[in-house]
Structure 1
Amino acid sequence: MPAIVGPVAINSISGGVVTFGDSFYVSPKGTSKTSAGSGSFNTGNVIITNNGLSATNTIDPDINDQNIAANN
């Protein structure tokens, strides 16, 4: 049975899924890539990191990591 959806205003979406009308199968997709060196992503009250030299290789020779464009 079709759904009737009236005027909609979405100001902001921070994660989650928004669906309108009939939804049989909802499959949200998203990808991201993060590069971080040593001593990164630490959480706590007192953090002591001793890194003499840190280098992060951000070269990506294969360009495409997680293709989602054709997988809708």
Structure 2
Amino acid sequence: MPGFVGAVQVVNVSSAGIVNIGDVFQIHPITYAKTFSGAGSFNTGESIKVSNHLSSTNSFDRDVWDQGFLLNL
């Protein structure tokens, strides 16, 4: 059943985001990313104590292709 939408203000949509206003059957946002980070990179909290004396991140990727997303619908 269709609905009526009033005023809408979209301030920001990221590069992997979708904005839909109204009826829709399917939405397939497709994106991919490869993240390299060192020890203690994604810690969150108010008082975190991290001791990483010798830390290195190996970002060398031996294979040429990663898993494809062409037919991932």
TM-score range, shorter chain: 0.5 to 0.7
> What's 1:61 paired with?
62
Identity, in percent, stands at 41
- After TM superposition, the score normalised by the length of structure 1 is 0.60
CA shift in 2, pair 1:66/1:12, >3 Å: farther
**Root-mean-square deviation (Å):** 2.8
Extract unaligned runs of 5+ from structure 1.
Answer: 1-10
Tell me the CA shift for residue 33 of structure 1: 0.7
User: Partners of 2:54 and 2:44 in 1: how far apart?
Assistant: 21
> What's 1:4 paired with?
none
The 5 A counterparts of 1:18-57 are: 18=19, 24-57=25-58
CA shift in 2, pair 1:48/1:12, >3 Å: closer
User: Partners of 1:43 and 1:64 in 2: how far apart?
Assistant: 32
Deviation string for 1:11-59 (max 9, x for gaps)? 853243356xxx6543221110101111111101111111110011101
What is the count of residue pairs matched by the alignment? Answer: 62
Aligned 8 A contact 1:31 1:66 in 2: no
- After TM superposition, the score normalised by the length of structure 2 is 0.60
